[in-house]
Amino acid sequence: MVREKAKYLYAHFKEPDGSCSVCSDLVVYYNNLNEVYRILIEHKNDDHNVDPVAEAILIALYALLIVVGILANLIVSFVVARRPQMHTARNLYIVNLTVSDMTLCLVCMPFTLVNILRRAWTLGIVLCKLVPALQGTNIMVSIGTITVIALDRYFTIVRGQDSATTRRRVIISIALVWFFSFLATLPVVFFQIIIFNLFKYYCQNDIVRLCCPNINSK
């Protein structure tokens, strides 16, 4: 193949004295283009970029975390629901944590696993926007709920305001935690986009370009 290309280049680019100073450079350039094209095609057709053993281990670990996370939170919710003595206002915080954790296990972790294994986003623009937003929301809900529990313990122990913790106050606190968590992660819905690069689609945020549209022109 290389010899045929050399003959073709010599026939078209030879100089009057019979030499061809550019032929070798053109052959090298052509071979480099072929190599780049081959790598791009392999990248396009390679949907399984993870070693099979590592892929199996990763799937097993994610499956274990999802199952254990769901079962553990279901058990906590079941115990709270079945025991009348646990139907207290403060235990609503615990139930709220279980809801947040189960949502994270059911909604976010499976899609994250698919994205890791494929090293590309194949789930469409809607999930590209929703999954990161829900993941951020649930993480912030967990942090917010734990913060509210800590504040409740502080006012109860340090200031002796145990009677102030009513069911109504707890429900309002939980609602505010969810509201501000949704509000904080709302920009993700607008800034997450799908980009096409090297034959594959990727889900990522585009906050720099959207906030500063002239940044690439400088």
d(CA 36, CA 218): 30
Confidence of residue 106 (pLDDT cuts 50, 70, 90): confident
| Structure confidence at residue 181 (pLDDT) | 92
- Checking if the pLDDT of 177 tops 90, the result is yes
Asked whether the beta carbons of 37 and 8 are under 8 A apart, the reply is no
Taking 50 as the threshold, does the pLDDT of residue 218 lie above it? no
Phi first, then psi: give them for residue 197, nearest 5 degrees: -150, 125
3-state helix, strand, coil in the chain (%, to 5): 75, 5, 20
| Residue pointed to by tokens 């501000």 | 180
Contact 106, 70 (CB under 8 A): yes
Q: Sort residue 188 into left (φ over 0), alpha (ψ -120 to 50) or beta.
A: alpha
Residues whose CB is less than 8 angstroms from the CB of residue 83 and which lie 6 or more positions away in sequence, other chains included? none
Q: Say if residues 134 and 107 touch (Cβ distance below 8 Å).
A: yes
Which residues does residue 201 pair with via DSSP β-bridges, in sequence order? 196
CATH tag, 52-117+131-185: 1.20.1070.10
**Percent of the chain predicted with pLDDT > 90:** 17
Q: Say which DSSP state 159 is in.
A: S
Q: Does pLDDT of 45 surpass 90?
A: no
Residues 198/43, Cβ–Cβ less than 8 Å: yes
Q: Distance between alpha carbon 89 and the CA centroid of its chain, in Å?
A: 35
Quote the pLDDT of residue 161: 65
The confidence score (pLDDT) of residue 140 equals 92
Q: Model confidence over 113-150: pLDDT tens digits?
A: 888 887 777 888 888 888 888 888 999 999 999 999 88
The conformation of residue 198, written as its DSSP 8-state character, comes to T
Q: CB–CB of 193/187 below 8 Å?
A: no
